[in-house]
Chains A and B, each alone.
Chain A
């Protein structure tokens, strides 16, 4: 048997291979790796979409290494449905004992290990019957009679339809169970990785003091949007281009909720959260959720009106415009002299701390709200510049030569 060990030529080859495998890792800001790690720690099944050969499998290997989890790779397209739903084994008396569904050995080993990373590769090239069997594995974590322990995380990979030569389409029910991440290669990461240093993935550090707030924030973010936009709760993909991708349903919204809570507790950047949320419910609903979360961060008009002296307005012009419009709308809703004065004070503050053109429209609207018996506040004087700016813009309509 140990012939290979005695062969000096092969020994040298083994040494060379070992040297080639000897790579190190470094911490590096890599938002797609961060998104993958966050979804894995949130125990949501992730589906990596990417062209063949760009390192999806390699990324998974590094992830398993750095999380210290055993990696089990199952290539979905070369398996049969029974490998996932269990092989029926006929016993002595099926009428008495029933026909047990025997799980395959990789599942038995995963259960024995108690934890691990299950990597389902080539998902989109699996025939429909295999995909149907995978539904149960991905959602209920059942393989035959076995149930995968909670420590097992599921990640899948698929080639996009354009490059899958004879690919089946991912069915909408299966697609809805995954967080879809577009996997692209970063030139620098590849060059540095081939040089021997790959980026390191680390599980997000959840702040124990923020857990309650994170859940409350996530629930508020999702519920506020869905209350205002009932149409976004469930939308089967109609468009041919979007089939097989993420789409909104109560299930994927629940996944989104979990992702927001994890991202908030781990203090992840909005960029990473954006990838995850769009991967769970699709681009359109995801971006609407993120836009609505941005608005949640804006100061409340009533708070601003109550104490204009200590108000802080957002730096970004478009957000500042939204806040000022909100303030004017609040005054219009419940007009009285003190609120009107407070709004003027806020407009003056906006003028002193930012671009003047943002103030023009709110100022005009606010002026129109004036009742006859209200005193004009002295602060209005300071807005004279705004009026001249507005007039200057008006004159431009005449069209100078």
Chain B
């Protein structure tokens, strides 16, 4: 095998993608006649076909290095296994589909800037799919068929799809990395990207952010934030009233559980580009959570901070939520009104384009922030960030 060419390619890859250097150097190459091109296993070994090294131009070979290490950094074998278990998928056909989907996730931002795209590599647009999605999202959107025939030979190894190959050296073979070592490398690479995001493509920046803290669905987060904001107010033990079981235990002072339904005010900022559907689902969510906590319908109040009463109107009528309309696009007015009702918690649903109250309100506050790209006409207007005393959940 032309090892010099293989290692020169790795050096070139490190020069083009310095933020992946640790991972590229941690990969252990193993010469193998069984793999068609280059393939990885989950223990960070890279099986290389000598013929493939001879046939590829050096810069393209460097691209393949980066491609293979991306499979490992992005934990495609673990995710492939989890997806297979969840959807009860078996057989080599499904694993080929996982390899194709994993390649789609990688290839849309791995090449370019010194690393030309190798011939025959998969790009989401070949499957008429948008780029920038995750492997799991691609998996739900295509099946094998004549349009995937070109990639029937695709083979990135068990590191890409989780299916153990006959040539894999296994966990006990030489130069394998343990789970802890793999985590440590992924962590170092992610820290490097987060610390110096300058030239790093957006896909890798997103990966670095989420590598150890995958984002949670906003519904769960909003629910948890609201629950903890209301906690202590709705239901708690008190010695103020004797417990019902006191009669059976004379001489022992027992607390009783007292339940007071929490009062929640929802301030809705309808001035921005928030869609009706998003608003509706967010408000329904809040109403459901408060009900689950023992709140009755009349304990959820919705304030709309704009004239767009029609958005929330029908919904609130259907749900029995009284709607107090009026006010400007300034959420401070909404906070003032809400605080007069002595709520246990305030939930503000907004896209953040508003001034915030200067002082901390007397109750806990949850801000559901609709994540919006800034409109160009607002470019000179910088909105204040939600204040530190609020629990901020990005919604949608």
Contact = CB atoms under 8 A, between A and B. Distances in A.
A128 B232 contact: yes
A396 B236 contact: no
Nearest to B214: A241
Contact of B251 (A90, A273, A400): A90
A287 interface: yes
A317 B27 contact: yes
A89 to B, nearest CB: 5
Q: Sort chain A's interface into a size bin.
A: 35 or more
A29 B204 CA distance: 35
Interface in B28-66: 28-29, 57-59, 62
Nearest to A81: B237
B88 to A, nearest CB: 12
A400 B4 CA distance: 17
A128 B26 CA distance: 47
Given A274-B180, A291-B187, A90 B231 contact: no
Nearest to B29: A355
Interface in A65-92: 80-82, 87-91
Contacts of B223: 161
B253 A88 contact: yes
A12 interface: no
Interface in A111-139: 127-130
A165 B251 CA distance: 37
A140 interface: no
Contacts of B212: 283-284, 287
B213 A166 contact: no
A13 B139 CA distance: 49
A241 B26 contact: no
Interface string A162-205: 10011111000000000000000001000000000000000000
Interface of A is mostly: helix
A82 B45 CA distance: 57
Interface residues of B, number: 65
A127 B220 contact: no
B252 to A, nearest CB: 5
Interface in B4-34: 4-5, 7-12, 14-15, 21-23, 25-29
Interface string A253-288: 000000000000000011101100000000110011
Closest 8 pairs between A and B when the two form their complex, measured CB to CB: A317-B25, A169-B228, A357-B7, A392-B8, A287-B187, A357-B11, A393-B12, A274-B180
Given A317-B26, A393-B58, 17 more contacts: A80-B257, A89-B252, A99-B253, A129-B237, A162-B216, A169-B224, A283-B213, A287-B183, A288-B187, A316-B28, A316-B177, A355-B7, A355-B25, A356-B3, A357-B7, A388-B4, A397-B114
Interface of B: 3-5, 7-12, 14-15, 21-23, 25-29, 57-59, 62, 85, 114, 116, 175, 177-181, 183-185, 187-188, 191, 212-213, 215-216, 220-221, 223-225, 227-228, 231-232, 235-237, 251-255, 257, 292-293, 391-393
8 contacts: A102-B252, A127-B231, A161-B224, A168-B227, A320-B25, A357-B25, A389-B8, A396-B9
